[in-house]
Amino acid sequence: MNYFYITGTSSGIGLALTRQVLSNDSSYVVGYSRRNVVSHHRYKHIQIDFSQQGAAREVEIPFFPNAKHVVLINNAGILGDVKPIGKIDNEQLEKTFMVNTVSPAILTNRLLALYLPSAKLITVVNISSGAARHAVESWSGYCASKAAIDMFSMVLSAEQKLLGDSKVRVISLAPGIVDTPMQDSVRKVDPKYFPQSERFHQYKQKGMLASTEQVAKKIVELIGNPPNDPIIDLRML
């Protein structure tokens, strides 16, 4: 049995990934989010808000001693307060880093400590963003927190190469522009705070957004055949 731990399973890419994984009879999913929208005999839901300090340190990570392949997908993410630096709400800035960087790093650290002695293969997938690699005005918290998780992934990958150990694989992928609740929130931002607002309206109007189902399918395929470079742009594959 393959065991998947997926954060942000209540909507968007996380929900599509959960459904995609559960379509395989040899897979089991532990899902993390603030609300549960999945009902399946191979799904266990854990209610959690990763924006809260200590949440990732204290949340349950069920252990399955028979696990052959363990996959952690750090998918939960928030855009944060879309305003120029100097006008951002400090609490929202802190929560952005908690969800996008701190929680994925802690969950990865905990999962490896738990499964390295027993699992044959561990794959860590961090959902990053093109914004991690290109500065976007008024997205300082989002861009920086996603850039940090890219670097965390690169360090983990470098450590595995140093050890000569192929047991742990790591992927940090930018999924492209996807039709998710986050895209909805971007389009609602006051244009005076976000100069690129119109561009995101055009993405929706012109049908340029990929579906979450398409993206989830590509991610699952990538897990089965990971590239050598941990930093991936899904649109380039």
State pLDDT tens for residues 193-216. Answer: 887 777 786 888 888 789 999 999
Does pLDDT of 165 surpass 90?
A: no
Q: Indicate the residue type of 211.
A: S
pLDDT in tens, 126-158: 999 999 999 999 999 999 999 999 999 999 999
Q: Is the pLDDT of residue 189 over 90?
A: no
Determine the pLDDT at residue 21.
Answer: 98
CA pair distance 88, 72, nearest whole angstrom = 31
What pTM was computed for the model? 0.94
Provide the β-strand partners of residue 104. Answer: none
CA 9-15-17 angle, 5° bins: 105
Confidence of residue 163 (pLDDT cuts 50, 70, 90): confident
Q: Is 86 helix (H, G, I), strand (E, B) or coil?
A: coil
Higher pLDDT, 151 or 182: 151
CATH superfamily of 2-176+211-236: NAD(P)-binding Rossmann-like Domain (3.40.50.720)
pLDDT at 225: 92
The H-assigned helical ranges of the chain are 12-22, 55-58, 90-97, 103-115, 140-163, 181-187, 197-205, 212-224
- The closest alpha carbon to 152, from 168, 134, 170, belongs to 170
